[in-house]
A and B are shown apart, each in its own frame.
Chain A
Amino acid sequence: MKNGKKLAGTLAIPVIVFAACLLISSAQGIVLFDSLLSWTTFVRAAANTVLVTFALSINLNSGRFDFSIGSIALLSSVISSMITLKTGAGPLAMLVLSVFFGCLLGLLSGLLYVTVKLPPIIVSLAVALFYEGFAFTLTGGHGVTLAGNAEILGFGTIPNYLLVILTALVFMVIVYDHTRFGYEYKALLSGQKVSVSTGINEVKNAVLCYVIAGGLMGAQGFISATNNGSITMALNFGSISVMFLAFLPMFVGGFIGRFTNDKLGYLLGALSMAVISLIYVRLNVSSSYQQIISAVLMVSFLIYLNNEGRLKQIFRH
């Protein structure tokens, strides 16, 4: 594929989405990026979305549906914030702790999966229930309040969010595209049986995937907590809603991934979603309209994605 075509394919969706949002907002007489706050909202949404998208895609691409990622974000941020508040440590320590506990919770989830050898969807349901219950018990149901703690809440700046996004992207690209683990992951992804027959340790690979996804969700839990100033509890699968944040950027990223690195595709997908989030904020779009718009966007995009060939044929004639 020629470089020009690659670049066009890579940037088409984000550019179209940005242009459409700018057009719509200016038609309403509103400047989309009117202040530092708008930029912060945009970058924070991008950070949140890209972390969840990476975490979800790691296992979903391998056919492992994981309902528990939201509960890992919840529990890891609860534990890290409780320790941070108790010890008076700063936001960086909280971020490290969140990622560490995210990895640990992911490890437990992965170990359970490879031990019981049940379909991941089943294991993740049990894990989600367990972690939600554990977080609830740990905080007595009260959750954690960080509001008023200027040092921790002070993390929410554009450079910090960008740093998190960049670190996650570089980490994902290195680990999945430039290590033996990554090659084995891809081999397992395209031919599970054959790969295992050739001596790839699937169990180790799968557990590591859960650890990495857990770590990413730990970081996402941290960003949510430090942005919102509080962590509210969820029971009865209340934590799984965060997962739905990632589907559209994952599909968009999958499309962009044809032209460039798929992780960059996820990031561009997340940026596209973030600008849509920002326009909801700037135009004060109500929740019900947001749901309708998001649903229509997703269905239209999926239809396009799966019928690209046919559409091209139609337009050629």
Chain B
Amino acid sequence: MKSVKKFFALCLSLLMVFTLTACSQESGGGSSDDPSQKTVKIGVLVSDTTSAEALAFKAYYEKYIQSVYNVEFMYSDELKDASAEQSAIDNFIANNCQAIISFASADRPAQIEKCESEGIYYAVATGTLTDEQYEKYKGYAHYVGAIGPDLAAEYQAGYDMAKHFLDQGYTKFGMFTGASVYYTEMHIYRAAGMLAAMCEAGKGTYEGAEGMAIVGKIMGEGGNVNPGKIGSVEVNGVVAGYDFDDAWYGKLTAVANDPNVEVLLAVGSGQVAFAGFKPEGKMLGDIDCYTADSVGLMEKGTLNYLAGKFSASIGPVFAATLSAVYGKPVRDNDGNALALSQGYWVADNAEDAKKYYEVDSSTTEPAYTKEMLDTLIGASYDDFAKFVAAYSFEEIQK
């Protein structure tokens, strides 16, 4: 038994030493004055490490951007609260990161303030700041800006998805509103967009509200969407949250199998929430991203509409950040930081989804290549804005 113990201890020690030394390759660096010759370390704050979208974004940065630019990305752990975000920023600063790109939003103002006070560049990769926040931070020297779907774009994505099915004559819906109950604005706006489209088609209101006013209604209800009639349209079941327990799955199954539901609409994670329970013949629409699984589901007819973020959509925010690190920050005429919105790639058939996925998952020729992003380094605000605005698949392919 003693020898077994010794052997075990030896194995573990060797494993530790081997792993640590094997991983200790130094990142390359240069000594020239040309900024692009020096490896730029960029910290990435993430609040999610396992969703398809988060993994696709990470793959674009680590497998493509890191291979064509002299940069090194350093990812945080999954950040669940503001305190974890502060710790992660401290870690990045300690590791000499020159910039931080954020996908975490527990406390964005605190992130911006911290980066400004520590003198490192900071950019928001998904979502945007509120108007008030932008007014406060747009002049900060180290605030690069925010590029990603703004809340109006999220609302529109929800609206377009619901309208797609309403236009086909469907009137009975089931909804998954995800993190709306945790007051995640992105999901609340998407859900509000869906309900707004139903109000228009059904010639009714959602509990007395229509259009953007529905956002306030949902907020007032603790982030909950209530089932009910909207004129001639019916919302016959709603599930929210991410409990992953028997009751949660039971609720999803019940809504998916409700005979009074023709179409299932998800503000995100629809492939996790509904795809496993949906009987044949029902429609499913989701706002997420393009993956091999989502393409497979579209081919099988399980998923019928997908508004997806494309992984390279975070290319411009990287270019803006790198440009700032190189001493060429992109600012408007008044010296304000970037605030640009992007939209989604929408597929309502397997062919389109496949076409998008092929480009999106490529690690050699992604949607935004180095050649395209290079045009953004040191670009003017207007040129940058024009580039970001042309986000559709066709425009990018041109």
Q: Do A and B bind each other?
A: yes
Listed in ascending order, the chain A residues whose CB lies under 8 Å from chain B are: 37, 40-41, 44-45, 48-49, 115-116, 136, 140-143, 145-148, 153, 227-230, 232-236, 241, 245, 274, 277-278, 280-282, 284-287, 290
Contact of A49 with B246 in the complex, beta carbons under 8 Å: yes
A232-B272 contact in complex given A145-B293, A286-B181, A287-B241, C-beta closer than 8 Å: yes
Q: Count of chain B residues with Cβ under 8 Å from any Cβ of A?
A: 35
Contact of A41 with B50 in the complex, beta carbons under 8 Å: no
B249 within 8 A of A: yes
Query: What sequence of 0s and 1s flags, for each residue 238-268 of chain B, a beta carbon within 8 Å of any chain A beta carbon?
Result: 0001011111111101100100000000000
Contact of B55 with A140 in the complex, beta carbons under 8 Å: yes
Q: How far is the CB of B284 from chain A (nearest CB, A)?
A: 10
Q: Which of chain A's residues have a CB closer than 8 A to the CB of B275?
A: 145, 147-148, 229-230
**B55's contact among A37, A141, A147, A148, by CB below 8 Å, is which?**
A141
Can you spell out 24 A-B residue pairs with CB atoms less than 8 angstroms apart?
A37-B254, A41-B254, A115-B5, A141-B49, A141-B50, A142-B50, A142-B291, A142-B293, A148-B302, A227-B249, A227-B276, A228-B276, A235-B50, A235-B78, A241-B244, A245-B245, A245-B246, A274-B246, A280-B247, A281-B247, A281-B254, A286-B181, A287-B243, A290-B243
Q: Which of chain B's residues have a CB closer than 8 A to the CB of A153?
A: 276
Q: Which of chain A's residues have a CB closer than 8 A to the CB of B243?
A: 287, 290
Q: How far is the CB of A91 from chain B (nearest CB, A)?
A: 14
Contact of A277 with B246 in the complex, beta carbons under 8 Å: yes
Contact of A147 with B181 in the complex, beta carbons under 8 Å: no
Query: What sequence of 0s and 1s flags, for each residue 295-308 of chain B, a beta carbon within 8 Å of any chain A beta carbon?
Result: 01100101000000
Q: Which of chain A's residues have a CB closer than 8 A to the CB of B272?
A: 228-230, 232
The listed residue with most A CB atoms (<10 A of its CB), out of B241, B272, B276, is B276
Q: Which of chain B's residues have a CB closer than 8 A to the CB of A236?
A: 77-78
Q: Which of chain B's residues have a CB closer than 8 A to the CB of A285?
A: 247
Listed in ascending order, the chain B residues whose CB lies under 8 Å from chain A are: 4-5, 8, 49-50, 52, 55, 77-78, 181, 224, 241, 243-251, 253-254, 257, 271-272, 275-277, 291, 293, 296-297, 300, 302
Q: Which of chain A's residues have a CB closer than 8 A to the CB of B77?
A: 235-236
Given contacts A142-B291, A232-B272, A235-B77, 6 further A-B contacts (CB under 8 A): A37-B254, A147-B302, A148-B300, A229-B277, A236-B77, A287-B243
Q: How far is the CA of A116 from the CA of B246 in the complex (A)?
A: 36
- Closest residue of A by beta carbon distance from B56: A142
**B8's contact among A115, A278, A282, A284, by CB below 8 Å, is which?**
A115
**B246's contact among A37, A45, A145, by CB below 8 Å, is which?**
A45
Chain A at the B interface: mostly helix, strand, loop or mixed?
helix
A48-B181 contact in complex given A115-B5, A148-B302, A235-B78, C-beta closer than 8 Å: no
**B271's contact among A147, A274, A277, by CB below 8 Å, is which?**
A147
Q: How far is the CB of A121 from chain B (nearest CB, A)?
A: 19
- Closest residue of B by beta carbon distance from A136: B50
Q: Which of chain A's residues have a CB closer than 8 A to the CB of B247?
A: 45, 277, 280-281, 285, 290
Q: Which of chain A's residues have a CB closer than 8 A to the CB of B297?
A: 145, 147-148
Which 6 A/B pairs are nearest by Cβ-Cβ distance?
A: A229-B276, A147-B275, A281-B250, A280-B247, A45-B246, A145-B293
Q: Which of chain A's residues have a CB closer than 8 A to the CB of B291?
A: 142
- Closest residue of B by beta carbon distance from A36: B257
Q: Which of chain A's residues have a CB closer than 8 A to the CB of B245?
A: 245, 277
Q: Which of chain B's residues have a CB closer than 8 A to the CB of A278?
A: 250
Q: How far is the CB of B2 from chain A (nearest CB, A)?
A: 11
Q: Which of chain A's residues have a CB closer than 8 A to the CB of B5?
A: 115-116
Q: How far is the CA of A41 from the CA of B245 in the complex (A)?
A: 12
Q: Which of chain B's residues have a CB closer than 8 A to the CB of A281?
A: 247, 250-251, 254
Q: How far is the CB of B196 from chain A (nearest CB, A)?
A: 23
Q: Which of chain B's residues have a CB closer than 8 A to the CB of A230?
A: 271-272, 275-276
Contact of B249 with A228 in the complex, beta carbons under 8 Å: yes
Q: Which of chain B's residues have a CB closer than 8 A to the CB of A282?
A: 254
Q: Which of chain B's residues have a CB closer than 8 A to the CB of A136?
A: 50
- Closest residue of A by beta carbon distance from B252: A228
Q: How far is the CB of B4 from chain A (nearest CB, A)?
A: 6
The listed residue with most A CB atoms (<10 A of its CB), out of B5, B8, B249, is B249
Q: How far is the CB of A134 from chain B (nearest CB, A)?
A: 14
- Closest residue of B by beta carbon distance from A233: B50
The listed residue with most B CB atoms (<10 A of its CB), out of A146, A148, A227, A236, is A148
Q: How far is the CA of A235 from the CA of B245 in the complex (A)?
A: 17
Q: How far is the CA of A234 from the CA of B80 in the complex (A)?
A: 13
Contact of B4 with A115 in the complex, beta carbons under 8 Å: yes
Contact of A48 with B271 in the complex, beta carbons under 8 Å: no
- Closest residue of A by beta carbon distance from B241: A287
Q: Which of chain A's residues have a CB closer than 8 A to the CB of B248?
A: 287
Q: How far is the CA of A246 from the CA of B271 in the complex (A)?
A: 28
Q: How far is the CB of B44 from chain A (nearest CB, A)?
A: 14
Q: How far is the CA of A153 from the CA of B203 in the complex (A)?
A: 39
Q: Which of chain A's residues have a CB closer than 8 A to the CB of B253?
A: 37, 40-41
Q: Which of chain A's residues have a CB closer than 8 A to the CB of B52?
A: 142
Q: How far is the CB of A209 from chain B (nearest CB, A)?
A: 20
A142-B55 contact in complex given A235-B50, A235-B78, C-beta closer than 8 Å: yes
Q: How far is the CA of A79 from the CA of B270 in the complex (A)?
A: 24
